[in-house]
Amino acid sequence: MPETILKIALDVPLDRLFDYLSGEHDVQVGQRVLVPFGSRNQIGIVMDIADSSDIAIEKLKSILQAFNEETPLDAEMLSLIKFSADYYQYPFGQALLSSLPARLRQIAPAVSRKQYLYQLTDAGREADVEDIPKKQKVLRSVLSALQAANQLTEAELDDISGTARKAVKALVDSGYASCERVLAFQRVMAIAEAVEPKLNAEQMHAVQQITAESDVFKAWLLHGITGSGKTEVYIRLMQYALRHESAQVLVLVPEINLTPQLEARFRSRLPDFPLVSLHSNLSESERLHHWQLAQSGAAKIIIGTRLSIFTPLPDLKLIIIDEEHDSSYKQQDSMRYHARDVAMVRAKRLNIPVVLGSATPALETWYNATVNSNQASKYGLLRLKERAVSAAQLPQIDCIDTTKVNLQHGFTPQLITALRLRLERKEQSLLFINRRGYSPVLLCSACHWIAPCTRCSSRLVVHLGQRKLRCHHCGHEQRIPHQCPSCGDADLHPTGHGTQRLEQTLAQLLPEARIARVDRDSISRKNALVEILDRVHNQEIDILVGTQMLAKGHDFPNLTLVGVIDTDSALHSPDFRASERLFAQLMQVAGRAGRADKAGQVIIQTQFPDHALFNALRIQDYESYANVLLEERQQMQFPPYVFTALLRAEANDYTLVQQFLQLAFAQARSLSDQVLVYDPVRPQMERLKGMERGYVLMQAKQRPALHQLLKHLVSQMRAHKMAAKVRWAVDVNPLEF
């Protein structure tokens, strides 16, 4: 077999492919291979089989191994990742390899669990069970089961008898059955099939509109208030899409903690369609196995977090993005892609619909659905204004002015009274504060010293239970000092409230209450969150104290009170998206109250009860507040009215950062007069994890102009010797400046 030249993508920070010889290996495009690279061996993906190379043939090395037993990556997925790498200005090889499960990046065959599938042959269909001696009961049972079902898995054989596998082999030897090796599906405990609820008029309209255009690309914004039954609309759309035997549906969720509840809901309503989840809480072997089931087409429903958008799916018919506004869909390191935007590109290429669901859509999405009528692919807008449970009403929202009442350990009298009332009624409450730990600050009352992080421009958070000060940005920890390091005074005290302090205070105020805390510290153990949520549903918890983990997606029928402790810092943040995020967060957390037939109440403690944000929140009027924010964005020339990119840089020495950014600034200015390039500045957190930081902001009214500049700028900066002295990256469409 003649040797061919292979163009191979490698996980290295160089935006190019590398030429190798195939040797004696038979290789396809998309195949995983092992190659020598420098002093070590690396995994690569074959991107092209070429006739020639820019390098002399005798200087080319041969690949060491081709993993031929694995299914190659398909052309659609390779093209999508290539587009994303180009758009987000990231080396293609690194983007491609990082999209794969960890086991596929390791130098070893990707071994996954297999099982045998037994199918009936023509001879088996004509066979008469009565011809088998009656004493061979298991053999008769297996043949009967095969004739009824046409095929059986090993698990189904085990349900017949412990010796059924031995019996089926006899049928294979007799020519009554055939045997095929397939990827194994993990057995899931059967969930009782849920009763299909009747859709209300708004839900029915949404389903009809989307299914009427199910064979073309269109983006649909499903804007529904909390509790309006968006998930039921998703299920009906999935039922319609999966009517084709080979069809697949991808459902994106922003966070891992939303997957167990959605999985259970989908399994109970769509029991005939194999389902897998993809997220970082899976073990490496579980993730590989689920990914392979999706790639093979065996899995029909795929639920996953942002990286799932790059999962190979041979017959994808529908993409659903739940809580589409959530910032978790934006990757904040490596290739800084936004899963929602990549989903749009993927859906357009496949000519399939994509559904964006949210009670508080991102302003960019709202703009595309209501304002930006010039684009051909303007989003369809579907509204759900009523709660799906007819007896469920929107909660009453009260804003308590904390400047006019005496707080008791951080609680207003109104909130304490409301908590006691729920305990008497045997109803549940949720207290929301987006700050974990015991207290955000350790303060010296004598000299006002505040415990700083030595590696970041931030303060250390008090974790009283562990007697530790901890940085929530870099993870640095140290013991709580006995006296002030600045003046020597021993009067050090925690100031402000975190989830741990609220939990402790509640235990003192309401000793009879059963309290559970949900934050990153309390649910670090696998399945810890699922266990807490089960206890909530089983009425074993009276009060939940938590962060934004509890703000969305969860349905607690007996929860009638939500208390919001501290939100005021976001009202005056320098981040132009802060008010948008806060409104979405409060709408989401308010939506946890009164979702069944019991009236809900939300109490927000604030020093600014008459702020426009709270006025809109009281009447749950997202549309008017979103339109106000859009007007502000247009006046200030912020996204979505302009397109932005950041060139970020960091190093141990800020002088190096400054030199690099000044160079980038000068280069960018010279490349285009259609892009506004701002002087280099430092972010609000100037130092993070020991690295000094800075950035250059670029802004354009036309997307092509910005990307043309970035293409040339990144190429020039990669070639410059300064690029090796700092750590730098481009962030296209950044969420934070």
Question: pLDDT digits over 642-698, tens only?
Answer: 999 999 999 999 999 999 999 999 999 999 999 999 999 999 899 999 999 999 999
Cis peptide before 197 (omega within 30 of 0): no
Whether the pLDDT of residue 530 is over 80: the answer is: no
Long-range (24+ apart) CB contacts under 8 A made by 148-154 are 150/119, 150/120, 151/117, 151/118, 151/119, 151/120, 152/117, 152/118, 153/115, 153/116, 153/117, 153/118, 153/185, 154/115, 154/116
Mean pLDDT of all residues in 201-220: 96
Band the pLDDT of 559: cuts 50, 70, 90: confident
Nearest by Cα to 730 from 89, 94, 15, 98: 89
Band the pLDDT of 371: cuts 50, 70, 90: confident
Cα 312 to Cα 294: distance, rounded to the nearest angstrom: 7
Whether the pLDDT of residue 373 is over 60: the answer is: no
Burial of residue 261 (CB within 10 Å: 0-12, 13-18, 19+) is middle
Mean pLDDT of all residues in 696-718: 96
Q: Report the pLDDT value the prediction gives residue 688, as an integer from 0 to 100.
A: 93
Taking phi over 0 as left and psi of -120 to 50 as alpha, with beta for the rest, 117 belongs to beta
Long-range (24+ apart) CB contacts under 8 A made by 452-460 are 455/687, 455/688, 455/689, 455/690, 456/685, 456/687, 456/688, 456/689, 456/690, 457/684, 457/685, 457/686, 457/687, 457/688, 458/685
pLDDT per residue over 37-50, tens digit each? 999 999 999 999 99
| Of the candidate ranges 159-168, 307-316, 708-717, the one whose mean pLDDT is the lowest | 159-168
Whether the pLDDT of residue 1 is over 70: the answer is: no
pLDDT per residue over 91-109, tens digit each? 999 999 999 999 999 998 8
Q: Report the pLDDT value the prediction gives residue 187, as an integer from 0 to 100.
A: 53
- Residue 598 CB: number of other CB atoms within 10 A? 17
Q: Report the pLDDT value the prediction gives residue 154, as an integer from 0 to 100.
A: 78
Phi/psi at 24 (5° precision): -95, 10
- Can you give 378-427 as a three-state secondary structure string? CCEEEEECCCCCCCCCCCEEEEEECCCCCCECCECHHHHHHHHHHHHHCC
- Residue 182 CB: number of other CB atoms within 10 A? 13
- B/e letters for 52-86, b = 16+ CB within 10 Å, e = fewer, are eeeeeeeeeeebeebbeebbbbeeebbebbeebbe
pLDDT per residue over 187-205, tens digit each? 554 455 678 889 999 999 9
Phi/psi at 686 (5° precision): -70, -35
Q: Report the pLDDT value the prediction gives residue 185, as an integer from 0 to 100.
A: 63
**Secondary structure of residue 676 in the 3-state scheme:** strand
Cα 525 to Cα 402: distance, rounded to the nearest angstrom: 36
Whether the pLDDT of residue 158 is over 90: the answer is: no
**Secondary structure of residue 177 in the 3-state scheme:** strand
Cα 366 to Cα 358: distance, rounded to the nearest angstrom: 10
Strand order in the sheet with 601-606: 396-401, 601-606, 559-564, 428-432, 543-546, 515-518
Cα 676 to Cα 692: distance, rounded to the nearest angstrom: 25
Contact 292, 184 (CB under 8 A): no
Phi/psi at 523 (5° precision): -120, 30
Q: Report the pLDDT value the prediction gives residue 191, as an integer from 0 to 100.
A: 59
Q: Report the pLDDT value the prediction gives residue 643, as an integer from 0 to 100.
A: 96
Contact 363, 629 (CB under 8 A): yes
Around 181, how many Cα atoms within 13 Å sit in the side-chain half-sphere?
A: 4
Cα 206 to Cα 402: distance, rounded to the nearest angstrom: 42
pLDDT per residue over 408-419, tens digit each? 888 999 999 999
Triad 289, 290, 296: Cα angle to 5° = 90
Q: Report the pLDDT value the prediction gives residue 372, as an integer from 0 to 100.
A: 67
Q: Which residue has the higher pLDDT, 357 or 283?
A: 357
pLDDT per residue over 650-659, tens digit each? 999 999 999 9
Whether the pLDDT of residue 737 is over 80: the answer is: no
Strand 601-606, strand 559-564: pairing = parallel
Mean pLDDT of all residues in 617-624: 89
Whether the pLDDT of residue 504 is over 90: the answer is: no
Whether the pLDDT of residue 74 is over 60: the answer is: yes
Could you give all domains of the chain from N- to C-terminal order, each with its CATH number? Answer: 5-105 (3.40.1440.60), 114-183 (no CATH), 201-384 (3.40.50.300), 396-439+496-632 (3.40.50.300), 643-732 (3.30.70.600)
Contact 583, 625 (CB under 8 A): yes
Q: How many residues does the chain have?
A: 737
pLDDT per residue over 244-261, tens digit each? 889 999 999 998 877 778
Whether the pLDDT of residue 114 is over 80: the answer is: no
Q: Which pTM does this prediction carry?
A: 0.86
Quote the mean pLDDT of the chain.
89
Cα 729 to Cα 737: distance, rounded to the nearest angstrom: 14
Mean pLDDT of all residues in 543-551: 79
Cα 489 to Cα 462: distance, rounded to the nearest angstrom: 18
Cα 210 to Cα 719: distance, rounded to the nearest angstrom: 48
Contact 384, 206 (CB under 8 A): yes
Mean pLDDT of all residues in 457-474: 87
Which stretches of 225-283 are DSSP H helices? 230-241, 259-269
Q: Report the pLDDT value the prediction gives residue 437, as an integer from 0 to 100.
A: 72
Mean pLDDT of all residues in 166-179: 86
Whether the pLDDT of residue 622 is over 80: the answer is: yes
Mean pLDDT of all residues in 95-124: 86
Give 327's contacts (C-beta < 8 A, 6+ positions apart): 581, 735
Burial of residue 39 (CB within 10 Å: 0-12, 13-18, 19+) is exposed
Q: Is the dihedral of CA 547, 551, 556, 561 positive or negative?
A: positive
